[in-house]
Amino acid sequence: MSSTTQHGLVVSAHSADFVWRAGGAIALYARRGWNMTVVCLSFGERGESAKLWREPGMTLDRVKAARRDEATRAAGILGASVRFLDCGDYPLRVSDDALFQLADIYRELRPAFVLTHSLKDPYNFDHPLATHVAQEARIIAQAHGHRPDQPVLGAPPVFLFEPHQPEQCEWKPEVLLDISEVWDVKRRAFETMAAQEHLWEYYTRVALQRGVQASRNSDLKITHAEGYQRIFPQVTGAFA
Q: Which of positions 13-32 make contact with a second copy (CB under 8 A)?
A: 25, 28
Q: Is 175 in the site for a second copy (CB under 8 A)?
A: yes
Alpha-carbon distance 191 to 194, whole Å? 6
Taking the least distance from each CB to a second copy, the nearer of 188 and 208 is 208
Closest approach of Cβ 148 to a second copy, in Å?
5
Using alpha carbons, list the distances in angstroms from residue 63 to 15, 46, 59, 90, 94: 11, 8, 6, 14, 20
> Under the criterion CB under 8 A, does residue 143 sit at the interface with a second copy?
yes
Count residues contacting a second copy (CB under 8 A)?
82
Instruction: Report the site for a second copy in 119-138 (rule: CB under 8 A).
Output: 122-125, 132, 135-136
CA dihedral 72, 73, 74, 80 (to 10 degrees): 60
235 binds a second copy (CB under 8 A): yes
**Minimum distance from residue 108 beta carbon to a second copy (Å):** 17
Instruction: Tell me how far apart the alpha carbons of residues 155 and 76 are, in angstroms, rounded to a whole number.
Output: 28
Identity (one letter) of the amino acid at 21?
R
Under rule CB under 8 A, which residues in 90-119 are in contact with a second copy? Answer: 90-91, 93, 96, 99, 112-113
Calculate the alpha carbon distances from 213 to 36, 210, 216, 220 in Å. 27, 5, 5, 11
Q: Which of 5, 81, 95, 218 binds a second copy (CB under 8 A)?
A: 218
- Least CB distance from residue 67 to a second copy, whole Å? 10
Under rule CB under 8 A, residue 6 binds a second copy: no
- Parallel, antiparallel or unpaired: strands 35-40 and 7-12: parallel
Q: Residue from 139, 191, 194, 197 that binds a second copy (CB under 8 A)?
A: 139
**Closest C-alpha to 7, from 49, 45, 39:** 39
**Contact status, residue 159 vs residue 113, Cβ threshold 8 Å:** yes
Collect all residues with Cβ–Cβ distance below 8 Å to 53 and sequence separation of at least 6: 63
Closest to a second copy by CB, 101 vs 152, is 152
221 is a site residue for a second copy (CB under 8 A): no
In the region spanning residues 45 to 84, those forming contacts with a second copy, defined by CB under 8 A, are 45-47, 49-50, 53-54, 58, 60, 63
